[in-house]
A and B are shown apart, each in its own frame.
Chain A
Amino acid sequence: MVIQWCLKGISERPTFSDTEAGALLHSGIKSNWLFNNSTMPIELAIPTVQGLLGFSALLMHVNNYAAVRTTSPYISLSAGVVLPDTALGSRKFPAWRSAIDFATEWGRSSGYVYRVWTIVTPQPSPEIMNVSDEIRNLNLFDAAWKYQKQGEITAKLVIPPAQIEYVVKVGPDRRPTGFRRDNTGFVKPETISNLLVEI
């Protein structure tokens, strides 16, 4: 397993402004499915979500988002990507670009960028709820090549609050506005690394 830092962009709108953006640090970043089914009892929600997770559902989320945008249990994150040795040279796409493009809707609004960490599996795991898939890796997900430049990592159901480090607000010109909230409940990913101290 790999622990991967990622960024997530969410645009500002009447129902999602500074207060709500800060609140996500304590409630977690929900998938659209969870957002739209937040009152479902957990004993029903877990098997329901489990039934929704699968390889084709994951590809649908990536390649045909319009069809599943309100019901997808997946969450798109960006970790950036390098495309080496292309005919144009080595092309780099930093995570912040995708996150800010989505957060500002390409300059149409202000938005929020969250820095989160997630556990990424070394092979596809679309059915496993607590880990994420490295969509940007064409060796694993060649059917998702269209969005490789977005450096996508796809999480499931929710990014727990303890894995969100901070949120920064950016304006339509992409500049940080000065709004930043650090998560007091954040837990460093080093906590789950395999480096043990001596007894």
Chain B
Amino acid sequence: MPRLFETEEWNENLLQEKVRYYLDTMRTVDEVTREFRSREPVREFRRADELRFHDEVLDVRLEQFTEAIALLLVSDHIEQAKSFFSDPGWVLNGFPTNHNPNGFGRVTVNVRQFVGLSMFAALAKEGGMLVGESGLEYATSRGTLVLLRDRDTDREFFAVLPTLFSVAMASKLDGGALYYLSGNIAELLGQFGAFGFFDRPEARLLGVYRTFFESDSLDLKTPVLFGQFDGFIALRELERRYTNRIREMRSDRYHWIRMNAAGDLIDWALLIAQVAMLRRDRLPFLPENFPVSAETQFSWDLAQAMA
């Protein structure tokens, strides 16, 4: 099973302790957030403030959930990780949904939460993305995530579009969701500047899905804008970025050995793209035996194990 180089040095008890800490303390996040909240709520905006508070709590839960999952995935505990990330209820409620016979229902979430939770569900082969009445949704057997989109979050939404595209490709395929995402990318590209969209390797990576659009005869304009070669180069760029980050993190032995290296142990945008490519069997253009670093190989092996 895949294991990130030099995580063999990690103490297994400490690892499990740390994972438990992140998961167990998810239900104390609201209490602690209230204790250390620096801003006093303004009476006139109490309702809006409560909603913002709820959002903050979910954001924190999602980050520590992500850290727990990353620790497990890089250290050869894929099955244990899967048992957690197939259930968005962990983040939404602070505990697993199977404690609730009705599931978690329909929950409206912000952009960050939608990306994170739908990505985890897609990695676990749980449910799929679709277009509902108000926009994007992700339906799982335990409930449905509804993306809250407004003018304030447009910029953030555009930044995550490539990741969402990979999530859609990795999950149960829905033409409507792909059209919706593709249309939004086309709209973004029509905007002046497009927030440096093309500069991001995550965006250029969309080119790797081109074979999919061609062979499935889907009339989607966007992927045509990204060539297959662009996608391939972007993929290598993301792999290199991941390799460099892990090597940097490992060089700080004090924190690495304690599993306190503060960077991300997984490049999630890369991983979900790799899983999507493997699940759609659309890698004919990737050169075989292309030399890759041990870190990149790990990410591919991990993707293969989940594909």
Contacts and interface: CB of A to CB of B under 8 A. Distances in A.
Interface in A87-105: 87-97, 99-100, 104
Interface residues of B, number: 47
Interface string B85-123: 000000000000000000000000011111110010000
Given A65-B255, A85-B156, A176-B35, A90 B24 contact: no
Given A107-B17, A173-B25, A174-B32, A87 B56 contact: no
Interface string A167-199: 010101111100000000000000000000000
A138 B230 CA distance: 28
Contact of B111 (A89, A92, A150): A89
Nearest to B264: A149
Given A85-B156, A147-B262, A175-B32, A90 B111 contact: yes
A149 B36 CA distance: 18
B237 to A, nearest CB: 13
Contact of B263 (A65, A93, A146, A175): A146
Contact of A146 (B31, B36, B112, B262): B262
Contact of B254 (A65, A89, A91, A145): A65
Contacts of B77: none
A83 to B, nearest CB: 10
B131 to A, nearest CB: 19
Nearest to A86: B159
Given A87-B163, A87-B269, A107-B20, A92 B260 contact: no
Nearest to A108: B17
B82 to A, nearest CB: 19
Interface string B176-203: 0000000000000000000100001010
A153 to B, nearest CB: 14
A92 B35 CA distance: 17
A150 B31 CA distance: 20
Interface of B: 17-18, 20-21, 24-25, 28, 31-33, 35-36, 38, 56, 59-60, 63-64, 110-116, 119, 155-156, 159-160, 162-163, 195, 200, 202, 248-249, 252-255, 260-263, 268-269
Chain B interface, DSSP helix/strand/loop, else mixed:
helix
A66 B261 CA distance: 12
B255 A91 contact: no
Interface in A31-74: 63-66, 69
Contacts of B31: 175-176
B248 A84 contact: no
Nearest to B258: A106
Contacts of A64: 252, 254
Contacts of B113: 89
A112 interface: no
Nearest to A62: B252
A89 B115 contact: yes
Contacts of A175: 28, 31-32
Given A65-B255, A87-B269, A88-B119, 19 more contacts: A63-B252, A65-B252, A66-B254, A84-B156, A85-B195, A87-B160, A89-B112, A89-B113, A89-B156, A95-B36, A96-B36, A97-B63, A100-B32, A113-B36, A145-B263, A146-B262, A148-B262, A170-B32, A176-B35
